[in-house]
Structure 1
Amino acid sequence: MPRLALSNVEVVYDKVFLAIKGVSLEVGEGDMVALLGANGAGKSTTLKTISGLLGPERGAVTRGEVSFGEADLLPLGAPDRVASGLVHVLEGRRIFGHLTPDENLVAAFRAGGSAARLNELRERVYAYFPRLKERMRSKAGYLSGGEQQMLAIGRALMTEPKLIMLDEPSLGLSPLLVQEIFAIIREINSQEGVSVLLVEQNASAALEIVHSAYLIENGHIVMNGTAEVLKQNPDVQEFYLGGTGKVNYHEVKHYRRRKRWLA
């Protein structure tokens, strides 16, 4: 049984706009899966569907099923989904800037947990992100973009997740920082057995660390397979991995209309 499964899910905003249309995907236990696509394709909406954050944006699931293990997620609120072992690192980091990194980590720890467990988890986060320990008494709002992304991931680990969802962790970061953070994500997956669902526009970086991927366009899943299969697909290379040479844009427009993703 997959750890996370979406089956034919549709989401509507304001009872009018159909944002995702029949999306189905799976994330297995200990798996690393990427959800790739351009801006507005439905990537973030898919994550918010899973984590229960559609309501504040006037979105609703109108069709389909979302399960996590044996549990049906749709009747559960966001806090209950976190308690079940699912955590969502939002785009833009969303750390508490007025608190220190250490206070951010403490704030994410479950209510009623023991001090010993809190310290154990906190030291584990600092082992993955030594830079955060160096800056643990600074205001988090003064950290660099890369350090804030590290803190956002570390804070998620304080919830003891079984599956962590990352929304555009590379956003605004230098290539070297992206490489560093993605290497740590892969290490967390390997060492902790935490499943990862990674949403990324940087398809090239994402496909280097995940096991498999889904490609979403205009709210539809148009392709899925192993990372190697997607990297070798000519359409993916041309439209998501930078292409291989000069492009005739008139031909590209014509070709877009006749893509055969599943061929």
Structure 2
Amino acid sequence: MLTLSNVEVVYDKVFLAIKGVSLEVGEGDMVALLGANGAGKSTTLKTISGLLAPERGEVTRGSVEFLGENIVGSGPPKRVDMGLVHVLEGRRIFGHLTPDDNLLAAYRSGGSRTRLNELREQVYTYFPRLKERARTKAGYLSGGEQQMLAIGRALMTEPKLIMLDEPSLGLSPLLVQEIFAIIKEINEKQGVSVLLVEQNASAALEIVKHAYLIENGGIVMSGEAERLRQNPDVQEFYLGGTDRVDYHNVKHYRRRKRWLA
């Protein structure tokens, strides 16, 4: 469904943000893109959704293909029409509108009211809390409810692929577990492909089938989620580690990630 081939992105014609990034998301797949702050995760998503231009970024090499079409030259509205939707980091809901109006704002222009009502009820089925607070201004919702609204708003566009940028940001572990379970349910019930960007590698690897690890703007590892979970470097640097070094009993300690060695 989605293929990035050797993509490079430059900001302000100077700063190389991502270099030679290649990844794939198949139809109905759930794929995670993992990495630390500043690794290039959000830039990769903005490259796919077409949101680089407002931040003075541009693709200088490579291709982004969605449903067999190179979309590098296409604007964000066309990409949404094709079924590609991006839930931005930090939720970015319309705080002065109600949840109901937020969902309405995302529905395509010229669509039927019947279909609008069907999609809205579908969102409220996944997120009952939003229905309870449908007439409250969205800015007064809790962080978890706002994240639910951001995902629900994306579903109003009837996506084929939904990209989620740090959906766990600022949420409690229980709420993260709940939202990730709903994302998995959407994937399984509706067949919507998911590209999940996360710093919370442990939670992400629990629900995805395949994962990529990005560092310093480049993909350094990819494979089945279980294989990455068992990798000792991923365990130490991204999953909290299983073995701790007793620095009192060693004279010199130097541990490097194997892919940098």
Relative to the length of structure 1, the TM-score reads 0.96
2:181 alignment counterpart: 183
| One-letter identity of the residue aligned with 2:176 | V
Aligned partner of residue 254 in structure 2, secondary structure: helix
Aligned partner of residue 245 in structure 1, secondary structure: coil
Deviations 1:191-216 (A, max 9, x none): 00000000000000000000010000
From 252, 258, 261, the counterpart of 2:259: 261
| One-letter identity of the residue aligned with 2:78 | D
| One-letter identity of the residue aligned with 1:199 | V
Measured after TM superposition, the shift of residue 255 of structure 1 is 2.4
Measured after TM superposition, the shift of residue 41 of structure 1 is 0.1
* Aligned counterparts of 2:168 and 2:193: Cα–Cα separation in 1: 19
Instruction: Detail structure 1 runs of 4+ shifted over 6 Å in the superposition.
Output: 249-253
Measured after TM superposition, the shift of residue 72 of structure 1 is 1.0
| One-letter identity of the residue aligned with 2:163 | M
Contact 1:33/1:211 (<8 A) preserved: yes
| One-letter identity of the residue aligned with 2:132 | E
* Aligned counterparts of 1:240 and 1:4: Cα–Cα separation in 2: 26
Deviations 1:56-101 (A, max 9, x none): 0000000000000111111100011000000000000000000000
1:194 alignment counterpart: 192
1:76 alignment counterpart: 74
Give the stretch that moved more between structures: 123-132 or 239-248: 239-248
Question: Could you list the runs of 5+ residues in structure 2 that have no partner in the other structure?
Answer: none
2:85 alignment counterpart: 87
1:51 alignment counterpart: 49
Deviations 1:139-195 (A, max 9, x none): 000000000000000000000000000000000000000000000000000000000
From 46, 50, 61, the counterpart of 1:63: 61
* Aligned counterparts of 2:252 and 2:211: Cα–Cα separation in 1: 24
From 11, 23, 26, the counterpart of 1:13: 11
Question: Could you list the runs of 5+ residues in structure 1 that have no partner in the other structure?
Answer: none
Aligned ranges 1:1-263 → 2 under 5 Å: 3-247=1-245, 254-256=254-256, 259-261=257-259
* Aligned counterparts of 2:243 and 2:255: Cα–Cα separation in 1: 16
Aligned partner of residue 241 in structure 2, secondary structure: coil
Contact 1:223/1:262 (<8 A) preserved: no
* Aligned counterparts of 1:224 and 1:10: Cα–Cα separation in 2: 18
Contact 1:13/1:57 (<8 A) preserved: yes
Measured after TM superposition, the shift of residue 107 of structure 1 is 0.3
RMSD between aligned residues: 1.6
- Residues 253, 149 of structure 1: alpha-carbon distance in 2 compared, 3 angstrom cutoff: farther
* Aligned counterparts of 1:111 and 1:42: Cα–Cα separation in 2: 33
| One-letter identity of the residue aligned with 2:117 | N
* Aligned counterparts of 2:149 and 2:245: Cα–Cα separation in 1: 40
* Aligned counterparts of 1:42 and 1:72: Cα–Cα separation in 2: 21
Aligned partner of residue 242 in structure 1, secondary structure: coil
Identity, in percent, stands at 81
